[in-house]
Amino acid sequence: MKGTFRLVSVAAAAVLALSACSGSGGRKAEQAAGPAKGPRLKIAMVTHSGQGDTFWDVVQKGARAAAAKDNVELLYSADPDGGKQAQLVQSAIDKKVDGIIVTLAKPDAMRDVLARAKAASIPVVSINSGADASARLGALVHFGQDEKVAGEAAGTQLARIGSKKALCVIHEQGNVGLEDRCAGARKTFGGDLQNLFVQGTNMPQVKSSLTAKLQADKGIDGILTLGAPFANTAVDVVRETGGKAKIATFDMNKELVASIKGGAIAFAVDQQPYLQGYQAVDGLWLMRTNGNSLGGGRPVLTGPAIVSGDNAASIEAFANRGTR
């Protein structure tokens, strides 16, 4: 009892001490909260996709949250054409930004311009696409998921839900990340997995291509899309054709989470795009202001994570506010 009394007394004293701190210093710290002190940095983010895409909207939310915290001016631009994306990076170099965030969906198109960024002593980090090419092209670190590993996880899960003959729908030809996803899925699927190339900027055409394929081959019992909007289109196609194919996808949005909860979509592979945008901006800020580096020469993985009917409800609130 005496020992217990002593422990309670010590705990009470600690609580009182903490209360005193929160009563004065805590309020002062709270009042002082705001953007980081120090010089305002300018960071450019140049991706291969942009406004109006639900995935990239989430990436930007993460990047802008970190920019607000770190007192960073964020310059965002995007173009799906590799050559034009390189021109946007050159524009950032010409503006003498303090750091560049870039995607490497078409790494060969970015080689020369990233060499010019290095010559100008502008640090570069990559996100989302091109993990294998990131270090070779001079990026300090890559934030994203290993697309081959993520594909393997998707293939395993696709087999687990009972699919034997499936489509992997690639919405951008030449995008190394998308092709790696399908290759990884094929490795672990165990059944017949065929690639189907569609025009990702034209959803009616995507729907038409999927419809024609399902009507031509009634044996298809699985569809793996590589982006949330394409999964929702696949749901419509399966319903309208009377098919029974189970649908899975990479990446998420709030509509997709609702579809997983309702059973229309079996699962999604989430790479946490908010985290990619946030960590990229914050990583460059830390490097510039404190000499920090992340990854130890290896990519910093943000996925994959499987979202299914078992756990969709636990992240629904985050998806609804646009951060998952």
Task: Summarize pLDDT for 104-117 with one digit per residue, the tens.
Answer: 999 999 999 999 99
pLDDT attached to residue 33: 52
pLDDT at 188 over 60: yes
Instruction: Measure the CA–CA gap between 142 and 103, rounded to whole angstroms.
Output: 9
Domains of the chain as residue ranges with CATH:
41-145+273-293 (3.40.50.2300), 147-270+309-320 (3.40.50.2300)
Handedness of CA 105, 109, 115, 117 (dihedral sign): negative
Helix (H, G, I), strand (E, B) or coil at 183: helix
Residues 6+ apart with CB under 8 A from 314: none
In this predicted model, what pLDDT tens digit does every residue of 262-276 receive, in sequence order? 999 999 999 999 999
E strand or H helix that includes residue 99: strand 99-103
Instruction: Measure the CA–CA gap between 172 and 182, rounded to whole angstroms.
Output: 12
Which residues are 165's β-sheet partners?
Answer: 192
Confidence of residue 201 (pLDDT cuts 50, 70, 90): confident
Instruction: Measure the CA–CA gap between 28 and 118, rounded to whole angstroms.
Output: 42
E strand or H helix that includes residue 194: strand 192-197
Instruction: Measure the CA–CA gap between 148 and 299, rounded to whole angstroms.
Output: 13
DSSP state, residue 138: T
pLDDT attached to residue 173: 86
Q: What percent of the chain has pLDDT over 90?
A: 80
End-to-end alpha carbon distance in the chain: 50
Which residues are 7's β-sheet partners?
Answer: none
In this predicted model, what pLDDT tens digit does every residue of 58-96 receive, in sequence order? 999 999 999 999 999 999 999 999 999 999 999 999 999
pLDDT attached to residue 174: 86
From its phi and psi, is residue 144 left (phi > 0), alpha (psi between -120 and 50) or beta? left
Mean pLDDT of the chain: 89
In this predicted model, what pLDDT tens digit does every residue of 3-52 receive, in sequence order? 443 433 333 343 334 334 434 444 443 344 567 777 899 999 999 986 66
Span 135-160, mean pLDDT?
96
Handedness of CA 156, 162, 165, 166 (dihedral sign): negative
